[in-house]
Amino acid sequence: MSEPPGLWSATAPRIDVPVGQTLPSEVEVAIIGGGYTGLAAARAMARGGARVAVLERSTIGAGASNRNGGMVLPGFKADLGRVVRRHGRATARALFEESLEAIRFVARLIAEETIDCDWRRSGHLTLAAKPSHLSRLRSEQQLLAREFGYQTTLLGPTEVRTEIGSHHYAGGLLDPEAGALQPAAFVDGLAVAACRAGALLLEQVEVLAVRGGPGAFRLETSRGAVAARRVVVATNGYHGRLVPWLASRIVPVGSFIIATEPLAPGLRARLIPHNRTLSDTWNLLHYFRFSPDGRMVFGGRAGFTPGAVRRSATLLRRAMVQVFPELSGTTVTYAWGGTLGFTLDQLPHVGEWQGIAYALGYCGHGVAFSTWLGDRLGQVLLGAAPWPALAAIPFPAIPFYRGRPWFLPFAGAYYGLRDRLS
């Protein structure tokens, strides 16, 4: 990973994650990727008695799992109305329920494993970036209530001012179930929990090729070969071209975050009085919240391609000051970026292909889903739980794509134009 991971790693409680040193020649289950998905799968399988090794190319959590916004959100990136139309009501309800179960699971896991990660049910506010977007939020509120029995609160232009000290927005939709956590503290706690369950975590081991098949896989790694009865791919936006079938289904998209110096309590109480997490309705959206130590953490898809942190930080600072002019003199002390894994239908996917198990494609909604799907995938492979409803959704390949996202600049321009015209 060339970019520094940013605020979360710098401010997480220092805990010792006991990583192993020696690559075994043979394991029962090899898990590729040491983020939330891989660690949750490792914990579940080790608790079930399997001999599990997590192989991480960089350091544990160094992918999106210690770089994200720490917003623990119900639902998916995919538009729920489209999910109902495409997959039918019963399936859409099952998928939405899984997204809520994912949040409940994260809360239980944090309590059971006593993970010190500032978890709280903050509630999440989606802000209407234009008056015309408020009617979109109203339709979403009605759909959530009608199809899913899920209650949210719509706030008009005046009411929204009780939630945010900014004139920038025409209203908002408040979701009560969403939460917030410190991403790096959570991934470290999860790693310790996986080790405690008996999993072996290895860093600086890049898997270069997966050969063989179920019962007799052979992984070529940067530190030698490993034989494994089962393989779990938990690489999300960092997959590259390792398994070509997955590479043609998952697109790496950059997302960037800045964090200011800690703000005075009075200023914080004016800007986000109820300390919620927030995002807006642009396609190239912004998301923001306070960190546990009182900084404004402000993120967005300032550029579509991974990398380019410095340029993104300038754009994000400008956007932050537009929303909160009171922050015009505030210093930005951290800037970092990470990579999301996008899918064509904007849903996460879990399943098996030629015996290779996978869970990925969270499209920026992965803190809860990756943790829950990793755990559930582990349970499924142990024979202790059925596949989740998500596993029945076909995983579409992206036309003319094999893992090199040549179309991202066009996608960025297209969504930027849609925002300007909306």
Ligand X SMILES: Cc1cc2nc3c(=O)[nH]c(=O)nc-3n(C[C@H](O)[C@H](O)[C@H](O)COP(=O)(O)OP(=O)(O)OC[C@H]3O[C@@H](n4cnc5c(N)ncnc54)[C@H](O)[C@@H]3O)c2cc1C
- Min. distance of Cβ 292 from ligand X in angstroms? 15
- Min. distance of Cβ 347 from ligand X in angstroms? 13
- Please give the backbone phi and psi of residue 395, each rounded to the nearest 5 degrees, phi first: -100, 100
Q: Tell me which DSSP letter residue 398 carries.
A: P
Closer Cβ to ligand X, 50 or 297, answer by number: 297
Cβ count within 10 A of residue 220: 13
Bridge-based pairing of strands 286-290 and 296-300 is antiparallel
Residue of minimal Cβ distance to ligand X? 366
Closer Cβ to ligand X, 189 or 364, answer by number: 364
- Min. distance of Cβ 32 from ligand X in angstroms? 5
- Min. distance of Cβ 289 from ligand X in angstroms? 8
What amino acid is encoded at 411 in this protein? A
Kind and range of the H or E element at 193? helix 183-197
Closer Cβ to ligand X, 59 or 166, answer by number: 59
- Please give the backbone phi and psi of residue 30, each rounded to the nearest 5 degrees, phi first: -105, 125
Closer Cβ to ligand X, 338 or 351, answer by number: 338
Q: How far is CA 311 from CA 117, 203, 257, 258, 336, in A?
A: 30, 30, 11, 11, 11
d(CA 259, CA 352): 39
Q: How far is CA 230 from CA 94, 233, 234, 344, in A?
A: 28, 10, 13, 27
Closer Cβ to ligand X, 68 or 134, answer by number: 68
Nearest Cα residue to 136 out of 278, 276, 280: 280
d(CA 320, CA 328): 9
What residues pair up with 221 in beta bridges, in sequence order? 207, 224
- Min. distance of Cβ 320 from ligand X in angstroms? 15
- Min. distance of Cβ 205 from ligand X in angstroms? 6
CA 403 to chain CA centroid, nearest Å: 20
- Min. distance of Cβ 275 from ligand X in angstroms? 15
194, 39 contact by CB (below 8 A): yes
Classify 199 as helix, strand or coil: coil
Up-side HSE of residue 212: CA atoms within 13 Å toward CB? Answer: 14
Q: Which residues bind ligand X (CB under 6 A)?
A: 32-38, 55-58, 62-65, 67-71, 73, 206-207, 234-240, 242, 255, 257, 299, 338-340, 360, 362, 364-367, 370
- Min. distance of Cβ 235 from ligand X in angstroms? 4
Closer Cβ to ligand X, 70 or 388, answer by number: 70
- Min. distance of Cβ 185 from ligand X in angstroms? 14
> Cβ contacts of residue 82 below 8 Å, gap of 6+?
none
Closer Cβ to ligand X, 103 or 389, answer by number: 103
> CA dihedral in degrees (135, 177, 77, 230; nearest 10)?
-170
Q: How far is CA 360 from CA 17, 57, 62, 68, in A?
A: 24, 17, 16, 15
- Min. distance of Cβ 109 from ligand X in angstroms? 14
- Min. distance of Cβ 252 from ligand X in angstroms? 10
Closer Cβ to ligand X, 146 or 404, answer by number: 404
Closer Cβ to ligand X, 171 or 254, answer by number: 254
Question: Would the CA dihedral through 261, 265, 268, 274 be positive or negative?
Answer: positive
Closer Cβ to ligand X, 330 or 339, answer by number: 339
287, 72 contact by CB (below 8 A): no
Classify 22 as helix, strand or coil: coil
d(CA 359, CA 376): 10
Closer Cβ to ligand X, 68 or 343, answer by number: 68
Residue located via tokens 């930080």: 313
